[in-house]
Structures are given as structure tokens and as C-alpha cells.
Structure 1
Amino acid sequence: MGYYLDTEGNSQPSNCKICTEGKYCPQEGLAVPADDCQQGFYCPEGQVTATPGNFTCPEGHFCITGRGTPEPCPSGTYQNTPGEWTCKECPAGFYCNATYGPVVLYGTYICPMGFYCPNGTEYAEAYPCPTGTFNNLTGIDHEDDCTPCTGGMACDSQGLVTPPGPCSAGYFCRVGATTTTPSQGADADICPAGYYCLEGTDKPIACPEGTFSPDDGLMMVEECLNCTAGYFCNKTALTAVSGPCIPGYYCVEGSTRPDNAICPEGHYCGWATFDPSPCPNGTFSNDTGLETVDQCLPCNPGYYCEGLGNVVPTAECDPGYYCPSSANVAKFIICPAGKHCPQGSAAPQDCLPGTYSNYEGAAECTPCPEGYYCIPELVVEGDASTSYTPCPQGFFCPNGTGLDWQSCPAGTYGAATKLTKAEDCTPCDGGKFCQGVNLTEPSGSCWLAGDTAYPLGCNPGYYNDLPKQASCKDCPEGYYCYSNTTDYQPNECPPGFYCMQNTPDPFAYACPPGTFNSYSTQKNDSACVPCTPGYYCEGFNNSAPTGPCDEGYYCSGGAYDNPPSANGGECQASNFCPEASPAEVPCTAGYYCGSNGLANVTGPCDPGFYCPEGSDDADEEDCPVGHYCPLGSDLPTPCSNGTYNPTTKKDAFDDCLPCDGGSYCNEVGADAITGQCSEGN
């Protein structure tokens, strides 16, 4: 047994052939092997049975029918039972790698992290988790068991145990990102317009209020564009501005409201204003919220508004000039001859009766020259020759005469013009009599009567209005009587004087310095009243105040010189005194008066400070927290709603800080944020 012989004529046992591998020879005398070795066994040479016990197919192998040697199980299979003719498929979650020998037991070959192993997996790394996923567990058996790449991370290669790195800045990786710069739609993509994405972003971050972005791929919040100046951005995640700033307000870069900041004084703001437009030369505005240039006010008559953006008129028009509405320089229009223009004139002014001006640029009128009279009705503007007129016959005109020509007194006549005083009137000629006043020639010839050879004239201070009288009468109070007076009634005591009983001439009793009397027929010194406040009465016999008190000084009443040495004085710091001031004027709010003797304010209050009425320093009061004080502030301006200012001495709206992100500021004049926004707002 165990042999066969397939030839004839053999004589020796050694001629028999050993039974072929994979076959068996169970008896003697076989010409060929009996049959194939049975499955589950292998048959080396010389086998005598189909199921040789010593050659049971070993573990890790399989033996099909007719095998001379056991066949090792290939990768992806294993065999833990002897005598088998097939291999078992490697189970899911494990791998069976037969590279270095057949696998008997698969339990030690658990699928590693980063990979998955379905049934029949041959190698540990045969099935890597795909890009966009990772796996930090062993023994998974399906691709679906790989974990999608976590938010903010990118899984850009296969077989990953953990995500290797963050999503690139400018991109978002919500889930399953296959690259650091993905293009996977809603799951992972370039950062959309209106958002920014830091490195490692899983969800795009909205550009905050006050910003926008029309571009994608932003990497940081600083790349969000500040809202365009003149416009507002009142939502997050904007790709364009929300709209233009409304008229009356202006929007600086980064504004969140259409009424971000009210247009300041001295300016106007139309649609989409980012820099308030100053009111033009010759105008001003002390109101906020102007929408058009037409709302800027023309400069007040008598004042000028020089430069742009005036909050108040710059100052009064210069003496010698006049400023109608909208004047823009101190010397706007020169005052014409025949008129006068004191400081702050809106139009040329008539000289008072008894005064005149005969040159261009006159700030005040001078007393009419003696021998002439001056009345505004006869003046032709611009014609200096019409400013005074010769005193007519029968009258005399002292210095300062208007229509109050002085009559040549009874007993005299005036045949010539331009007489200056009563003494210039001609005494009645011998043998003539002059009855009445303002005669231009004697009334007639004298005649003889009574016991005297010639009539005796009445002495000064007396009169006689009847013929054939032996004595003269007392001249009454309020009148004067020259010698030879026949009628006292025309001889009214002139303004500037008073006439007691028996007054011999109109100039006997003059009102003293510091007083004046504007009425005729006054009887005693009580008619001389103290000089009007704001004016001075220099010298004697004033019928009106001599003139206005100098600028920089005030005359409180009864002043007799200019500048006043009594009844007034120099204007002190924190006050100013225009011409004709009866008292010191407290410095205008918003301005300061920094020295003595001022006719007007020194200038506007400095930026960062405010000046209440009566200030003497450009830095009078520090601008408080929560406010700002532009040039010329009389009161601090509160920061608008939505802003705050924690420091003093600020001078512009831009110094008010926008409310911090995540906070709210719901009051004007805030020096700190009001509070934190509630979650979700």
C-alpha cells in the first residue's frame, strides 16, 4: 500500500512508484493512485487513505480535494479550526493580514484608529477614513462610522486620527471640511460677504453694526469696512450701507443711525452729510439741526459775520461804516458824507439837529459851526456842502444850532447872514426904534413926548410895552430883556440856560458842567438836569448831552468829561462797554472779556471750555464729562444718545465715543455706558 505501478514487465519491488502527492493508494497492486485526497486533509506522497489523520489540514490553512500540502489562508481570511477546506472571512472591525503568516485568530488584529474594516479586510490600513473625516476609535467597520471633521477644523487627508489643523482665516468649516480653504457650500466654504472668519471659525461672524462688507473671504473684524461717512449701518452682517444720513444730521465714518449726530451750530447738513457744511460768509446760525444753507441766518443789521461757520455775529460794524443785513467784514460800506455811522450801524444815520458831518467815514457828528444851522432835512446824502446852511437874517446861530435859530433881540436887528451871537446883531440906529425880535432892519423912527427931550431906554433886565410910561417893568422869570426891550415874550430863555427875574441877556445863567437843559423859558437852576446816563455834558450851557461816553467806559449820569473822571469810569474785566454805555455790560455768554477798557468782547471761549455770562478768561470753565464744548460755547453740549464721554475738556462731537460693543447708552450727556445688552441683543 502506498504505492502504485503504471508499467509492465517490472521485476523488483523497487520498481513500484510512491503514491502521488494529493492522492492516496489504499491497497497493493494498483496501477494508478486510487483517488484524490479528501478535502480537509492533505496527502503527501505515499498516503494509503483519503483522510490521513496525521495530515489533517492545520489551523490557518485550508485543504481542498487533492491537495498534497495545506494552502495558507489568504489575507482577509482566517481559520481557527483544523481539517477545513475553506477559510473564514475576516469579521468587520478586524483585519486579517497573512503577509507574514496565515491568521489563525483575528482577535488581536482590531481595526486601528483612522481606518475602518468591513468584512474581509486584508490589511490594517486598507480602508482609511476619507478626507473630511477622522476616527479616534478602534474596531469600526464602516465608512459611515468615521467622524465628520469637527467645526473649525479641516481634515485634508485620509486616515486621520484627529483633525490635523484649523480652518484657514477667511473660511468657515462648519462640518466635514476636506481642506483648510474649502468650497463645500453650507458645510464649509469661503467666508461670505458681510461676515469675517478668524482662523478656526466654524460659523461666520457677522460684521458688527457700524460696518459692512461687500467682499467675501474676510479674515478679521478689522477688515469689515467702517460705514461710509455720510451713511449709516444699523444692522450686523451688512453687505452694503443701510442708507444715507438724514438732513439736519451728519454721520461720521462708522455711524449706526441715520440721525447719528445733530448738525452743530453754525453749520447745515443735507442728505448724506459726513462733514457739516459751514454757514457761508455773511451768515450765522445759533441753532442746531439745519438742513439747508437757506436756513443760515443773514448777519444781523449793524453786525458783520466774517468767515465760515459763525455761531453768532463776529462783532458790531466798525465806526464810520455801516453794515446792512449779510455784511461779512467790519468795514462793509463807508458812511457817506452828510451822515454818521457809530459803531454797530445798520444804515447811515441822520445827524441830530445842531450837528453835522461833512466827510465820508464819520463815526459821529460834530456841533454845527457858529454862523450856520444844521438840520437833517436839508442834507443830501453824499453831498458834504449840504450838511450846514448859513444862519438867516434877523437871527444868530451859535455853535450847535439846528432849527433853534436865536432871534436878534428887541432893540437890535440883523441885516446880515451867518451871525454867531447876540452881540453880532446891530443895535437899533440912533433916532430909530426896533420893536420885536428877529428884525432885519429898524422898525421906524423915534418921536418926542413928555417932559424929556428924548425917550429913555429901559435898562437890561427890564422892559416897557406901553407908551408914555415913567418907568420900566421887571423882566419876568423864563425870559431875558436887553436894553430898550418893548416886548419880552419873544425873548424866551434859550435851552442850556435859565433866566431868573430881571435877566439882562440870554447867556447870563448857564447850566453848569455835568448838566443840560433842553427846554426854553426855564426859570432857575433846577431846570439843569444831570447828564443822561451813557453821555457826558462838557462845559457850560449844554442844551443836550455833548456826546456819547467813549467806548470802553461808562457814564452813570451827571458825567462832565470824557472819559469820565466822576459819575462813571473805565469798564472792568469780565465786562464790556460799547459807546454810550450807562453801565458795564456783563460779558456775553460764550465769550470772554479779558481786560479793562473793552468796547466789545475779547473773543470766543476756547474749544474744550465754556464761558457763562461775565467770563474774563477764554478757559473760564472746563467742559465736563459727558459733554463737548466747541469754540464759543456758553453751555456744554451733551453727547447724543448712543455715545458717551468719560473725560473733560472735549471740544467736538467726534470726542463722544460710540457705545461699546455689547453695551448700550440710552441717555444724553453720558460719561459712561448705561449697561450691558441682554443676551441675544
Structure 2
Amino acid sequence: MTTVASFTATTTITSSSLQSESQCIPCDPGRVCSGSGLTAPNGLCAAGYYCRGSAYTDKPRDGGATGDFCPKGHYCPEGTGEPNTCIPGSFNNVTGLDYCFDCPAGFYCVDGEIPLACPRGRYCPGNTTAAQPYCPRGTYNPDFGMVYESDCRPCLGGYYCDTLGATEFDASLNNTGVGKCSPSYYCKSGVNISTPTSDTTSGLGGPCPVGHYCPEQTEDPDMCPMGTYRDVELGADVSDCFPCILGHYCGSMGLANATGPCDPGFYCLYGSSDATPTGADASKGGPCLVGHYCPQGTSYPLACPAGTYNNVTGVDACFECPASYYCPENITDYTGYPCPEGHYCPNGTTGALEFPCPKGSYRNLTRGVSQEDCFACPPGFYCGGEGLSLPTDECDQGYFCVVGAWSAQPSEYDNFTVGDCLCPSNVTGGQCQPGYYCPQGSHEPVACTEGNYCATPGLYTVTSQCKAGYYCDRGASIEDPTDGITGNICPPGRYCGLGTGVDQPRCPLGTFSNQTGNQVVSDCTNCTQGYYCGSLGLTEPTDKCAEGYFCPTGQEISSPFPCAQGYYCPAGSHEMIHCPSGTYQDETAQGTCKTCPSGTVK
């Protein structure tokens, strides 16, 4: 019988043809060969141990020749051949473990054995390795053992911190990365740049906002004071705040635009902080001044325009100038501006000469209200321009001026005749027409006087006397009129010398005339013999001479000459007639003779 050799417990046999022990294979690392004659390892190294090879127990303790407790800084799971170093961010400070502990928060682990306190300027969450995260720019950390990024202290207000992992905040040290926030910017907290913007910092900071200004080292932007505003970013100084615009007020701090327009009745200069400034600071505005008005949004008081006035402060509209006064621009009292003579002033009159009385009128009083207060130029005068306080002068000779004439030689009514009853309302006068004359200052044409004629237009006196043989009534325009109205040929019983009027001289007593056109008294015929002409202006004898009388030619009474004794005078006798034979007459003024008595001589 063949005897089979037995191999040690630390080896295995892989072939049946082995000749010696030296041909046995050492047990594999991480494996255990715990018996003899093994053809393969029959176990795994126990957890917490490592088995380098040739191990015959799963928990070797030979100081590492074949294995041992898993050392500190390592971990050994079941079947470990060589201890595994704890991975960065973990550690193991005891032996015989098959795992490593997570590096605790606030520490970092680099050798796998002892956690180290997180250094200043960094923070260490759990499992931190040697590459501890830096506190970001804008922060710093002066302490050990910080865990979170939030444990990094934000850079203080007014400053920036531009270094990663800053450990100190000391603006006096050049190497700490700390500096003052630049003018025109603010650095509230955690700012990493001197001119922060939304794109360049994760901290609280940025360009100085509208309505504010930011000098160097600004933490919180300073608000522009009342009375100012700023409508753009990046203000650096209070002087960068703009005075509130004219006509507006800035009633609170930190404004990007004016609060609103100045209230009606007030004016707001640059920098006003009140919608109703009191005027205590005259440079900022105040109540509207007398003589001015201030609508909403007024920058400078507006002078009351001509035609208005204002005698009180704080109004947004001026008062209309009352009638009978005029108001120049910018006045407070209208009573010193009464409407002058020659003018009238309705409500709202702007100037003394704005409303002159029209030509053809005048006004010799002040404080006229309307055109009706202008007096029509009186008859015989003309008012040749506007704004007269008295008529210009008398109407020119040869012309007449009715009420309201504006020319010394008016022409509207050149065809005026005595037959006209009324002048049209728009007529102011005209040139004297034939049959009339107009002395200077005439208010109407004067009919040519009796016995004269006025032959041409524009006369200021008569042309001449009427022609002999004619008479002229008033208004004659020719020397020998025949119309029976302005004159005619001298009628029978009359005579008309030069310049005879309507009362033509009558043929005297003892005469008559039955002819027209007599010129002189001699043109009257002596009364016919036997007749008498007993009244003036006879066109034929009055009657026969009275009985008992005789009338030679030219007798003016019916009994001028009595018939003598011995004569008789029948009616119509122009001489005495002897009593015929057989008759006698012993009386005078008898129209017949008496018969002689019988027995007398006949």
C-alpha cells in the first residue's frame, strides 16, 4: 500500500503528482487554509483582520507575518489580504475594524487615522478630505472647526473681501484681501468686489440705487434728502442728488423722481420739499405773490396778464379787471388805473388805450364802461380820430355836420334838401347843396335866405341877390326861380327889385299893375282916371270914383276931389262936368244937376 504524504495546514495541493512539501502552494492572501492536505483554501480571512498569505487561521495575530488585526487608519472587510487605507474623508482610530468612520463635520481626514480640526478660512462638512473648501470670496473665517459654508462670516458692511479662504477681517492689513467699498456702490454683507453688481457678487451689494448716494465704505445707501432726488444709479455723494425740479416738490427722502407738482397757489423753486412751501426759505419757493398767479406745477410766479390783477397771496388765477378800469400786467391794485378820457373800459381791459371812442365820438370823462359811454360828436362839430376827449373842431364852411360826424367835410348826405325829414342813422353830414349855404360849424344846411339865391354846392354864404323882376323864397338856387316854391317871377300888383323875398313890395296906393315881372315901383301903373286904387298891390283899380267926385289918374281914394257948384260928377268921373242948360247945382260933391225952377232963366 502506498503511503500518501500529508502537507502542512498553510498550503494546498493542486496536483496529485506532487513529490515533496515544497511543491505545496501557500494559502492565497485573504484566504485561510486551516487544515492539512488541502487542495484549495477553505475559508476567508475574518472581518477586522487581514491575511497576507499562508494564513491558517481567519484571525491571524502573528504581527503581520501572515496577518493581524486591521490597523488604525485602515479597514479590513472579510477576505482582506492587505489592509485597505481609509479613503480620504474617512478615518479609523482603532484596530480590528472592517470599516472606516466618516470624517466628522468640522474636521478633515487625510491619513485615515486622526480627524484634524478644519483650519481657519475653510469649512468642513462631513467626509472632508485634505481639500477643505475655502470660504468663498466675500467671506472670512477666523475660527477652526467650521462645518458649513454659512459658517463663513460675511464680509462686513462697507467692505469687500476678494480672497478665497480669508482668515481675518482687517482692512488695515494689505494681505487680508479686505478693502473699502468703492464710491457709487454699497456693500451690505458678503461682498467680494469693490464695485459689486448682480453679475459679480453673490453678496448683498450693488450699484448705488436711484434715490440714494453711496460714498466710499457704504454699507447701506444714504437716502437723498428731502428736496432732492436722483433718477440714475451710482451716486457717490449727497451733491449727486439733484435739487427737486422747478415746479415740483420732493416731499420724502430717497426719491427717484419728484413727488409731484407744486400745489395751485404756490410756486416751487429748485429743491422744494413741500407742495405748499411757506416761503420761510425763499430760495425754495412759497405762496404765490401778489400781482401774480400760480397754477399747479408753477416754478416761478407768473405775472398777472394785462386785463387782470391780484391783491392777495396764494392764488392760482388772477381776478378780472373790473369795468371802468384798465389793468396793465403784474398789478395788485386796479384803482390807480381809471379808464382815461376818450376811452371806455369793459371788464378785462388790458390797457388805457385799448378801447378808444371811435371816430365821430368823444368822451370828456374818465371811467367809461362801454362804447355807449362815448358821446356822439355834437351837431356842427366833427371828431376826426379815435380816443378824443373833445371834438376836433367845427365843421368846415360849406359843409354841415349832424350828430356823430368824423370828418370836417362829410360826404354821406350830399343830396340833402329841405324836403328831407330825417337823416338815416348812419349819416353824419354832407356838403351844402344848391339852395343852401353852410357857415363854419353848421349842424344842418341853412336854406338860402329870402331875396338871395345859392347857386353851387359847398357855399358858406349866399351867391348873390335874386334877379330884379323875380322874388326868391328860402332855398332858391337860381337868380330867377319860377317853381313857385323857392321863388317866381314877380306877380301882378307887385314889383321886385334886386334881392326881393317873399314879401314883394306892393304897388303903392293910387297905382296898380296887372303885369308880372315888375322890377321897380315905376313899373306900377297910375290908377286909371275915373277910378281910384284904394289899397296896396292892386292888379286893377279898386272901383269907380265916387258920385259927386272926380278922379284924375293916380287916385287912391274914391272921393279925392269934390265936384264944384255948377258941376256934377257921376260915378267914375275923371273930371267935373258943367251942369247943362236948364239945370244948376248950388252944392258941391253932387253927382247930378238940379232942374232950374219955372220962371227962371235956364
TM-score, structure 1 length as denominator? 0.44
TM-score, structure 2 length as denominator? 0.49
Q: Which has the higher contact order (CA 8 A, sep 6+)?
A: 2
